Amino acid sequence: MSTTPSNPPALHCPRCGYNLAVVTDAGACPECGLAEAWAAAMRPAYRAALHWFAVAFVLVTFALIVLGGTVTSKGAGLAVPDWPTTYDYNMFLFPPSMWKGGVFYEHTHRLLGSVVGMMAIAMAVWLGMTEIRNQKPEVKNQIRNSKSEIRNPSRRPWLFWLSVGVLVLVIVQGVMGGLRVTEMSITLAILHGITAQIFLCSTVLLAAATGKWWVSDPLSLLRERAGVRGSADEQGKHTSQTPSDAIAGTQGRTQSRVPSPQPSLSEGRGGQTIPRRARAYAWLLLTTLFFQLILGAAMRHTESGLAIPDFPTAYGQLIPPLNEADIHAAVDAMPYEEAHPYYSPAQVGVHFAHRIFALLVVVVTGLVIVRLSKLSDREPALIRPMLTLVALLAVQIGLGVAVIWSIGHPEFATAHQATGAAILAVAALLAIRVYRLSSDPLSPGERDGVRGSPADEHGADRQATPNVLAVTRSRAQSQVPSPQPSPQGRGGRAVPA
């Protein structure tokens, strides 16, 4: 094991305080054998201000979707007939005295959309500064000095490019909304509603990836499996300790001792990760919900919300009439006080498909929650969004029934649409967390840097994951020059008195 003659910046192992900056070959800590030493030292920094801005981005986007639903429910989509101006005024200079009736809802929807666009620009610039330009100096120097071809996991360019994609998407969404007005296109209105849901899920990913859990939790799981106790915050403090502080916390430990073999990543609770097949369940739920929202958008914008006027039956039957003559006959047979307009077979079909798919959503949600609970051994990070899904789904069913029984009351219709968006956002968060927890605790760049940790080339279940700790520990043992403690210590440290 070679060391650099200079005094590089401190890059401490979070477990024993060993100065990893003097090691030219990235891998497990040569002092204690901790496989995640480099990963913890180079993990992305948690930026609270950035994360809370991303959370605010999600909330403002959700408010925009709710306001858009209000515009549709109140039939105000064409209350302002021109775009990008508002009755020939600059949108931002439109007199408040003219904000009346449907104009109020449509104009405020446009203004809030502009706010979301500005937040998307700010997010892209912010992430460009933190994930592209900014780099921890100690990591930069270590990668320059290292002979290994390790990527820098403390920088996440993909997060910046995600924010750029979100910015492009909000621009497309704004143009689509404007053309929907000028062209009076129902197709564009449906696409506008669908794109809004995709945009919301993208902001959820931004908020999740900038959060403290994303940065610290998978690594803290690996700490637990390596036998290191304490919370992620407590362990993270070691990375900022001075060598003397780290030494003080390790007195009494033999300097050259390598720990005995510890549990692998596939052994028991505390060492068991979520199998990769759990991702399929999360994506199944997310896909099912997305298709249901597509049907909901089609139903709202084709004015099919009351195409079947009764519930739980459909024109008094289990299956509604699906041709024009039968629909007219069913409407004519209704009592006079329940007189109902004639709807086309397409409108009745869309409405009925939305109801049938709602049953499928309930079944799929139940299946996914049961399976993920078993596969994750009730992982708290997954239980919370799953319980939220159950509660929101119950509310959503009640609101759907209320829309029918209230003969399409606009407030109920808007609440139904907003709750559907919230369900999709929570399902997206669940899928993101499942994906994160079913991945290697070391990111691809970190895993490549730990040469004793072969990547899972075939995507096998985590229960069959190679024993990363054992492999890197064996490598660390071979790197320790001598079982006898050195008078000068290791890693440039002095042996405690």
List pLDDT tens digits, range 180-227. Answer: 999 888 999 999 999 999 999 999 999 999 988 887 644 444 444 444
> For residue 336, what pLDDT band results from cuts at 50, 70 and 90?
low
Mean pLDDT of the chain: 74
Percentage of the chain exceeding pLDDT 70: 63
DSSP string covering 262-315: ---TTSSTTSPPPPTTHHHHHHHHHHHHHHHHHHHHHHHHTT-TTSS-SSSSBT
Check whether 69 has a pLDDT greater than 70.
yes
What pLDDT, in 10s, does the model give residues 129-145?
A: 888 765 545 455 554 54
Instruction: Report d(CA 276, CA 280) in Å as an integer.
Output: 8
> For residue 20, what pLDDT band results from cuts at 50, 70 and 90?
low
Instruction: Report d(CA 377, CA 386) in Å as an integer.
Output: 13
Average of pLDDT values for 11-30? Answer: 61
Determine whether 316 is exposed, middle or buried from the number of CB atoms within 10 Å of its CB (0-12, 13-18, 19+): exposed
What pLDDT, in 10s, does the model give residues 226-257?
A: 444 333 334 444 433 433 343 344 443 433 33
Contacts 24+ apart (CB under 8 A), 106-110: 106/71, 106/76, 106/77, 106/78, 106/79, 106/80, 107/80, 108/67, 109/64, 109/67, 109/68, 109/70, 109/71, 110/80, 110/86, 110/177
What pLDDT, in 10s, does the model give residues 458-481?
A: 333 333 333 333 433 444 444 444
The residues near 105 (Cβ < 8 Å, ≥ 6 apart) are 67, 70, 71, 74, 76, 79
> For residue 275, what pLDDT band results from cuts at 50, 70 and 90?
confident
Of residues 58 and 30, the one with the higher pLDDT is 58
pLDDT the model gives residue 28: 67
pLDDT the model gives residue 298: 93
Check whether 417 has a pLDDT greater than 80.
yes
The residues near 69 (Cβ < 8 Å, ≥ 6 apart) are 413, 414, 417, 418, 421
Check whether 496 has a pLDDT greater than 70.
no
Check whether 23 has a pLDDT greater than 80.
no
DSSP string covering 450-468: STTS---TT---GGG---H
Give the C-alpha distances (Å, rounded to integers) separating 315 from 281, 343, 466. 36, 12, 59
pTM: 0.71
Nearest to 344 by CA among 356, 328, 332: 328
Check whether 63 has a pLDDT greater than 90.
yes
AA identity, residue 422: A
Instruction: Report d(CA 458, CA 467) in Å as an integer.
Output: 16
E-state strands within 319-405: none
In the chain, what is the straight-line distance between the N-terminal and C-terminal CA atoms, in Å? 26
Q: Residues 466, 468, 470, CA angle at the centre, nearest 5°?
A: 105
Of residues 336 and 71, the one with the higher pLDDT is 71
Residue 287, CB-side half-sphere exposure with 13 Å CA sphere: 7
Instruction: Report d(CA 383, CA 389) in Å as an integer.
Output: 10
pLDDT the model gives residue 43: 62
Instruction: Report d(CA 313, CA 285) in Å as an integer.
Output: 27
Q: Judge whether 127 and 159 are in contact, CB under 8 Å.
A: yes
What pLDDT, in 10s, does the model give residues 433-464?
A: 998 888 654 444 444 443 333 333 333 333 33
Q: Judge whether 412 and 403 are in contact, CB under 8 Å.
A: yes
pLDDT the model gives residue 429: 95
Check whether 361 has a pLDDT greater than 80.
yes
pLDDT the model gives residue 240: 39
Give the C-alpha distances (Å, rounded to integers) separating 491 from 5, 31, 143, 484. 12, 9, 17, 15
> For residue 373, what pLDDT band results from cuts at 50, 70 and 90?
confident
CA-based max dimension of the chain: 100
Cis before 84? omega within 30: yes
AA identity, residue 66: V
The residue with tokens 């302002």 is 80
**How many CB atoms within 10 Å of residue 125?**
13
Instruction: Report d(CA 436, CA 215) in Å as an integer.
Output: 10
> For residue 47, what pLDDT band results from cuts at 50, 70 and 90?
confident
Instruction: Report d(CA 171, CA 220) in Å as an integer.
Output: 39
